Amino acid sequence: MQAVLERELVEQQWTKEQQEVDLCLDVTDLSIFYGPKQAVKNVSMPIKRHSITALIGPSGCGKSTFLRSINRMNDGIKGFKAEGNILYDDVNLLDANIDPVALRKEIGMVFQRPNPFPNSILKNLTLPLKEHGLKSKAKREEYAETYLKQVGLWDEVKDRLHESALSLSGGQQQRLCIARTLAIQPSVLLLDEPASALDPIATAKIEELLLKLKEKYTIVLVTHNLQQAARVADDTAFFYQGEIVEFTDTKTFFQSPKEKRSEDYISGRFG
Amino acid sequence: MQRSMLAEKVAHLHRELHQMGMESLQSLKSTLIAIDDEDVERSKQVIERDATINQYELSINDAIVEVLVTQQPVATDLRTLTAMMKVTADYERLGDLSVEIAKSNLHRAPFHFSDYEKGILLEMGEYCIAMAEEAMEAFHDLDLERVMRIEQSDIVVDDLYGRAIREFILNGHDERAVIQLAYIARSLERIGDHCTNIAEQVMYVKKGVHFDLNRPTIV
């Protein structure tokens, strides 16, 4: 039986290694400091193209810091320092000569609380397009329709495009924010607890949307909702005290985690 | 708080499952005593008490579904609960096969098995009883030592089954008895397989990987 055990484990390992992996982001040895405090410790994570990667872990474990460092949202924080590599198409996103504005066009971010502009629904889409240089008003409105359709919001808002975006429900506002991010055509979507302020129906809509969007985008998702990670993510990383305890495919992670700390966390025994 | 509730529910299900295993084991022991003693009444009791085992399967599976729905377990807890569902099916089949053996004893009633023929069946039966006991304990304690013993015993039972069939066909003293002897031997061989299935579930709960113990070989 021992022989069977060893053979099967070797076979599984082999199968895993044989699979060709198309990486969108390749993070290696990333360390992040806020002054003397190290928030992320030597983290490496290959993020597959057109997949959803969930980052989970207790509050303060470094997962949001990690996420925000991918599109350089931490740069302005006093004492912030990052070491290591975040390779995106062979370019290290941490390089000093990277233009954060251009980077954020390529790697968009959606936050926990929906933050639409206090303008009309339509303007929430057309304004960023204008800012990014799309001169034709007709084109901007055409794009607005395309992306409102992509997030499944068009039918709900097509007759009230000129009403304030703040009149929408929380879930609609969040989908509007996702549409706004998509409108500037990024390749990667970073989402920081995008459904934690939403009710279960709005949450389900966001999750269905993410599963649809991963066909076109690479998605990295921070979530406190373990079931959400289990439902939507292809891979899951468990952060604890700034380190990655375990990073593997989601099915393995929730069914048979290798690390005891992962098992204890997802079973609700600590954290 | 919630997790200690889950631990409590899993422990309770383990106890229920163990109880179900005891019922199935009792049926197996009883059906074999009935063969040895040519006791038709005892065989009828085995058939009657099978309903109790079936009821266990339904109620334990209902309770498992309730825990899945209300506690949303993951990792070891999830593997334990899904494995339990499979183990209830194996215990239920163990009960059914004991009933099959009991029915063969009823069909045998007009004639007799020779002591030699009974000896072959009872030797297989002893291995099966030992395997069923090991399987129950192995699943309850997640004991891999017992899993290894079950795997070895199943090889022996498979071998005894092959020998039994050859022996009954070549040397059966009464052709009317041979078919019942073969049915009983077949049921015992299947009981060995169900015990091995339970051992595989122990491996799954413990290691998180599916194992196929004692893979069948084409002879």
Radius of gyration of chain B (CA): 19
User: Which DSSP helix (H) or strand (E) runs through B135?
Assistant: helix B115-141
Q: Which residue of A has its CA nearest to B152?
A: A1
CB contact under 8 A, B209 and A256: yes
State pLDDT tens for residues A234-261.
999 999 999 999 999 999 999 999 999 9
Kindly state the tokens that stand for B209: 């990987």
Query: Would you say residue A48 lies in a domain?
Result: yes
Question: What does residue A58 show for φ and ψ, rounded to 5 degrees?
Answer: -65, 160
User: What pTM was estimated for this model as a whole?
Assistant: 0.81
- Amino acid occupying residue B25: L
With the C-alpha atoms ordered A132, A100, A59, A221, is the resulting torsion angle positive or negative? positive
Q: For residue B99, give how far its alpha carbon lies from the nearest alpha carbon of chain A (Å).
A: 32
**Residue in A closest to B213 by C-alpha:** A1
> Minimal Cα–Cα distance from A17 to chain B, Å?
18
Sign, CA torsion B76/B82/B84/B86: negative
Using alpha carbons only, give the angle B195, B200, B201 rounded to the nearest 5 degrees: 95
pLDDT under 70 in chain A at which residues? 1-19, 271
Domain count, chain A: 1
SS3 content of chain A, % helix, strand, coil (to 5): 40, 25, 35
- Predicted pLDDT at B1: 40
Closest C-alpha among A57, A91, A43, A75 to residue A188: A91
The B residues from 178 to 207 touching A (CB cutoff 8 Å) are: 207
Judge whether residue B219 has pLDDT over 90.
no
The predicted-structure confidence for B44-58, as pLDDT tens digits, reads as follows 999 999 999 999 999
Flag whether A74 is in a domain: yes
Distance set, CA A126 to CA A91, A146, A175, A182, B12 (Å): 30, 12, 15, 12, 60
The answer to whether the CB atoms of B75 and A263 lie below 8 A apart is: yes
A48, A111 contact by CB (below 8 A): no
Which residues of B fall within a CB distance of 8 Å from A252? 208
Residue A271 lies in a domain: no
Look up the CATH number of the domain holding residue A186: 3.40.50.300
Cα end-to-end distance, chain A, whole Å: 37
Cβ-nearest to A267 among B74, B148, B209: B74
Give B159-211 pLDDT, tens digit per residue: 999 999 999 988 877 888 899 999 999 999 999 999 999 999 999 999 998 88
Closest approach of chain B CAs to the CA of A180, in angstroms?
Answer: 35
Per-residue pLDDT tens for A6-42? 656 655 665 555 567 899 999 999 999 999 999 999 9
Residues in chain B closer than 8 A to A254 (CB atoms) = 74-75, 78
Position A7 in a domain: yes
Any domain includes A41: yes
Q: Quick check: is A45 in a domain?
A: yes
Best mutation target, A256, A264, A266, A269, to test chain B (most B CBs within 10 A): A256
B13 within 8 A of B140, measured Cβ to Cβ: no
Domain that holds residue A113: 2-94+102-266
- Residue A63 in contact with residue A47, Cβ under 8 Å? no
Residue B159 and residue B191 in contact, taking contact as beta carbons nearer than 8 Å: no
CB B9 within 8 A of CB B81: no
